[in-house]
A = this chain, B = another copy of it.
């Protein structure tokens, strides 16, 4: 049995360390899940005992195969629930994260399979993140941040990295949505801002915004 708290640690290690491949520092985990480094040390030992994580004192943590699969299963649930909240209950995508943080811990294989079917087996959640299937596999659409685009290039907005309320509200306000085709028409070296063009308008975005928008390549 993996506890709720353990699931949260696995998720954190997964996200911080390149799907749990790379060693992640105690402090990084502590910051991510808003706890103290000493608590992380305790928990990480427990995860290692359960063979969910690899842990060497003073050298950080990574996930074992089993830990990675468990993390992906939690992420699968999180993203399916987010999709449910947005597509079926009409939440806006900037208010679903906290609720999904709770729902992702509900234990029932059958529930999540049926939810998946009910949502017609979505491959991506409302933020454009891929939803792992029941075996933990997912297809990753190749994309890169607008920061790496040159003038004249274009792509489809398929993912937003920052999922803070503030950022998602900004996108809503500026009518930028997943699926939009975006063309880079200018770049200002002074502040690293970009001018982009969509079907409906031309606008300038700051570097902070650009680095969070991922376009298909």
A interface list, Cβ under 8 A from B = 85, 88-91, 95, 98-99, 102-103, 106-108, 110-111, 114-115, 118
Q: Is the interface of A mostly helix, strand, loop or mixed?
A: helix
Q: Are B91 and A114 in contact (CB under 8 A)?
A: yes
Given contact pairs A91-B114, A99-B106, A99-B108, enumerate 16 new A-B contacts (beta carbons under 8 Å): A85-B111, A88-B118, A89-B111, A89-B114, A89-B115, A89-B118, A90-B114, A91-B110, A95-B110, A98-B108, A99-B111, A102-B106, A102-B107, A102-B108, A103-B103, A103-B106
* CB-CB nearest in chain B for A115: B89
Report chain B residues within 8 Å CB of A90. Answer: 114
Report chain B residues within 8 Å CB of A118. Answer: 88-89
Roughly how many angstroms separate A187 CA and B111 CA in the complex, as a whole number? 42
Report chain B residues within 8 Å CB of A111. Answer: 85, 89, 99
19 pairs, CB–CB < 8 Å, chain A vs chain B: A85-B111, A88-B118, A89-B111, A89-B114, A89-B115, A89-B118, A90-B114, A91-B110, A91-B114, A95-B110, A98-B108, A99-B106, A99-B108, A99-B111, A102-B106, A102-B107, A102-B108, A103-B103, A103-B106
Q: Which of A89, A95, A98, A115 has the most CB of B within 10 A?
A: A89
Report chain B residues within 8 Å CB of A85. Answer: 111
Roughly how many angstroms separate A103 CA and B99 CA in the complex, as a whole number? 11
Report chain B residues within 8 Å CB of A103. Answer: 103, 106
Roughly how many angstroms separate A207 CA and B180 CA in the complex, as a whole number? 65
* CB-CB nearest in chain B for A90: B114
